[in-house]
Amino acid sequence: MRTVKKLTGLGVDAQIVLVNKNPYHYQTTELHEVAAGTKEPADITFDVARTFANKKNVQVLIDEVIRIDQDAKSVELKNNAPLQYDYLVNSLGFESETFGIKGANENGWPIVDIDTALAARKHLEDTLKRYKSSHDPNDLRIIVCGAGFTSIEYIGELVYRMPKLAKQYGFPLDEVKIECIEAGPRILGMFDQNLSQWGVEYLEKKGVNFHVSTPITEVKSNAVMSNDQEFTANTIIWTTGVRGSHVIADSGYDQKRNRVVVADDLRVNGQPDQFLIGDVSGVANPGNGRLYPTTAQISIAEADCAAQNLAALLKGQPTKKFVFNALGTVCSLGPKVGIASIDMFGHWNLKGWIAGVAKKLIADRSTLELTNIRTMLGND
């Protein structure tokens, strides 16, 4: 969506078809808030067709992409006839990754789109509500699988909302147990030690138990196994990571976990009419040759670069190399608090409400750039 918005501002003479599965677009960085119930879907979504209502050369088509026929240069859709293209920008996003762990699909609640976030929230609320009549301690136990950003940000929202839920559903707050189970040796290991420690202690003080070096090997209907160790709970949130859209593998790309390593101008090697950006794209850091992690920040930069390079091709000009200057990392620990490592005008480690403000400013700026000031202020 951002690429289209940018392209329309670059004065290209082209017919653009934007295919989107839903009539709305959502900020993926805020899905954990919908799952925890601190935000409603309307707070993080906006209408795609309305965003482009006054752009005559943009057609919005609500449909699901099934496959890309790279030889025939066509996009196969679920409900409409295939679309032929001269140029394709593929930004089909991510899906939950289970790494083939037994029972993860069936028994874990992922947070990967609006529907799954709402389903996870409904299950949590129903289970907490049930405690009043069941008195089953597992109804008050929540296991969060993995301790990546999604898990930690979800837990931050959850501990913020829990006192209100306890009041609403009449369960004892001090009997709620949130267990976060992580395979790696550290929590928030991407931050400096003092910052990650502050974040971990902040959540521990709110009753969260972290288990590191504890790889999950199986997920049962009300238990998570790490080899012989068993953790029981009636709510199991599955946030152990993501993979790109299955359409990538289904379309025969040379891929790993549905991510394709692209050329330095974001085009697909051997397919000069295709750009791949976001979670389906593997972009190498020229500094060390390793792929950048797929974050919202890099996806935004890729969308802008793909728009500029596509405009250049349409004007018969050469493309430019993608350059990424990371501005840092922010991890929220609830609606108002967080930790942040910012690289702007020097290096800044922030913790507490100031990091929460930084996160909100970044989210608002992203919404503003995609839509308009009314949407950002919540008046749409």
**Applying CB under 6 A, does 196 fall inside the site for ligand NAD?**
no
Q: How far is the CB of 184 from ligand NAD (least distance, A)?
A: 4
Query: Whose Cβ is closer to ligand NAD: residue 37's or residue 93's?
Result: 93
Residue with Cβ nearer ligand NAD (58 or 236): 236
- Which of 37, 146, 199, 282 binds ligand NAD (CB under 6 A)? It is 146
Q: Is 306 exposed, middle or buried (0-12, 13-18, 19+ CB in 10 A)?
A: buried
Number of Cβ atoms within 10 Å of the Cβ of 343: 12
Can you tell me which of 60, 144, 181, 283 binds ligand NAD, judged by CB under 6 A? 181
In the complex with ligand NAD, the residue whose CB is nearer, 128 or 330, is 330
Q: Which stretch binds ligand NAD (CB under 6 A): 2-10, 40-48, 194-202, 234-242?
A: 234-242
Instruction: Name the 3-class secondary structure at 326.
Output: coil
Q: Which residues of 116-127 are buried (b: 16+ CB within 10 A; e: fewer)?
A: bbbebbebbeeb
Q: Cα separation of 7 and 1, whole Å?
A: 10
Interface of this chain with ligand NAD, residues 320 to 339, rule: CB under 6 A: 329-331
- Give the active site residues: 153
Secondary structure string (H, E, C) spanning 279-322: HHEECECCCCCCECCCCHHHHHHHHHHHHHHHHHHHCCCCCCCC
Amino acid, res. 305: C
Neighbours of 88 (CB within 10 A): 18
Look up residue 325 and give its two tokens.
Answer: 């200057």
User: Where does this chain touch ligand NAD (CB under 6 A) — which range of 233-241, 250-258, 310-318, 348-356?
Assistant: 233-241
Tally of helices (H runs) and strands (E runs) in the chain: 12, 25
Can you state the angle between helices 353-370 and 296-314, rounded to 10 degrees?
Answer: 20
107 binds ligand NAD per the rule CB under 6 A: no
Contact 190, 149 (CB under 8 A): no
CB closer to ligand NAD, 258 vs 274: 258
Can residue 31 be called a binding residue for ligand NAD (CB under 6 A)?
A: no
The mark string for 260-299 relative to ligand NAD (x by CB under 6 A, - otherwise) is: ---------------------------------xxx----
Considering the complex, what minimum distance in angstroms separates the CB of residue 279 from ligand NAD? 8
Question: Whose Cβ is closer to ligand NAD: residue 58's or residue 277's?
Answer: 277
Interface pick for ligand NAD out of 9, 163, 184, 286 (rule CB under 6 A): 184
The helix-helix angle for 114-134 and 149-169 (nearest 10°) equals 40
Name the residue nearer to ligand NAD (CB basis): 127 or 332.
Answer: 332
> Per CB under 6 A, which region of 50-58, 147-155, 228-236, 341-349 contacts ligand NAD?
147-155
Number of residues that bind ligand NAD (CB under 6 A): 27
Which member of 116, 150, 245, 341 binds ligand NAD (CB under 6 A)? 150
| CA dist., res. 174 & res. 217, Å (int) | 29
- Which residue number, 37 or 199, has a Cβ lying nearer to ligand NAD? 199
Binds ligand NAD (CB under 6 A): choice among 93, 103, 108, 148: 148
Which position among 242, 247, 358, 370 is part of the footprint of ligand NAD (CB under 6 A)?
242
Residue 62 to residue 197: CA distance in whole angstroms: 45
Instruction: Please choose, from the candidates 217, 220, 222, 243, the residue with its C-alpha nearest in 3D space to the C-alpha of residue 232.
Output: 222
Which three-class secondary structure state does DSSP give residue 201?
helix
Reported residue count of the chain is 380
Q: Which of 147, 176, 219, 305 binds ligand NAD (CB under 6 A)?
A: 147
42 within 8 A of 49, measured Cβ to Cβ: no
Query: Applying CB under 6 A, which residues contact ligand NAD?
Result: 29, 99, 101, 145-151, 153, 181-184, 215-216, 239-242, 293-295, 329-331
